[in-house]
Amino acid sequence: MNDSVTDTAETAPPLAERSYPRFAKPQRVAFVQSSWHRDAVGACWESFLREIVARGIADQQVDLFEVPGSFEIPLHVQLLAKTRRYTAIVAAGLVVDDGLTGFVAQTVIQALMEVQLKTEVPVFSAVATPQSFERGEADTERFRQHFAAKGADVAHACADTLLSLERLRGQVAAGIV
């Protein structure tokens, strides 16, 4: 094991002590989550909310929407993006192999990308497609841990992208870019 990695992890400041750049304008985020496999996917929402608050977006500025399954996520994301109320939207779901997994996962991801490009509202995916999933306690716990890590990752990506877009839009408005 690389000691420098271990030393860095052990000396990283606790979440409450970390500082991040602040937004110039208020941000509002929608989180669209599949209710199927909520026991695993719900961990994504919990860790996302915790991390996005640490990154400077108040929890009152983050709205949770639930849909039946992952296939229903893109339509909800599109309608939310069209409202112009949200500066970013996150999608979370678990697509389990039912013979159509590849089709459903690919369709969902492609549709989310299309929404993002059409509306210029960033859309983030925490939609997972495991190669195997047994409907038992062990797999549920494994995916719960996966979604908890994914929630923190997507919160960082969301905040970093919003900061980047805020700067870029300021530069465009100023005629710099």
Instruction: For residues 28 and 97, give the distance between their C-alpha atoms in angstroms, rounded to a whole number.
Output: 33
- Identify the band that residue 2 occupies on the pLDDT scale cut at 50, 70 and 90: very low
Instruction: For residues 61 and 50, give the distance between their C-alpha atoms in angstroms, rounded to a whole number.
Output: 13
As a whole number, mean pLDDT of residues 78-104 equals 84
Give per-residue pLDDT as tens, 16-51.
567 788 888 889 999 999 988 787 788 999 999 999
Which residue reads 């937004």 in tokens? 23
Domains of the chain: 24-173 (3.40.50.960)
Give the three-state DSSP class for 125: strand
